[in-house]
Amino acid sequence: MKKISVMFLLMAFLFLGCQNNDTKDDNWGSNHLIRSGDIIDIIIKDKDEANRTLSPTELQDFMNIIHGGVYEIGQLDIGPADNVVEMAMKNGETKKLSLWLDQGEDLFVDHDDNGHYKLLLDEDERNKLIDILH
């Protein structure tokens, strides 16, 4: 009986120890199942408080780029965001993102999450995102 208890305990430790709790593979798209069709409107606000709305093509490109943002634990300690994006959803909710791109940070914060996201962009994607936001 004692051997069975020890065996069960070892198996429990083995199963619990083999869990993958690593969040480095989590990206914004898998954590937030938002498709372009779920969005009514996206409003971009820059540092000068100028507002701009995205066209349907820009919206699709923006969502494709943002979906790849990789989650990182911890709060950012940097200056004010270069852009703030407000997404009006069909279900009545609003999602707000703050982005830092102008200094090459390629970071954004989803105001509903505790951490931040790193965008792993090549030069073309980065330029496309900057064009969309400005």
| Ranges of each domain in the chain | 23-133
Q: What is the pLDDT of residues 68-93, one digit of tens each?
A: 999 888 877 888 889 999 999 899 99
Q: What is the pLDDT of residue 97?
A: 93
Which two tokens mark 50? 């100028």
Q: Which residue from 74, 58, 61 is spatially nearest to 113, judged by alpha carbons? A: 74
Q: Tell me the chain's radius of gyration from C-alpha atoms.
A: 20
Q: What is the pLDDT of residue 100?
A: 92
Classify residue 56 by its DSSP letter.
Answer: H
Q: What is the pLDDT of residue 73?
A: 87
Question: What are the helix (H) ranges across the chain?
Answer: 2-17, 28-31, 56-66, 123-133
Residues of the chain with pLDDT under 50: 20-24
Q: What is the pLDDT of residue 17?
A: 58
Q: What is the pLDDT of residue 126?
A: 92
Return the CATH class of domain 23-133: alpha beta
Give the distance between the most distant pair of CA atoms in the chain.
73
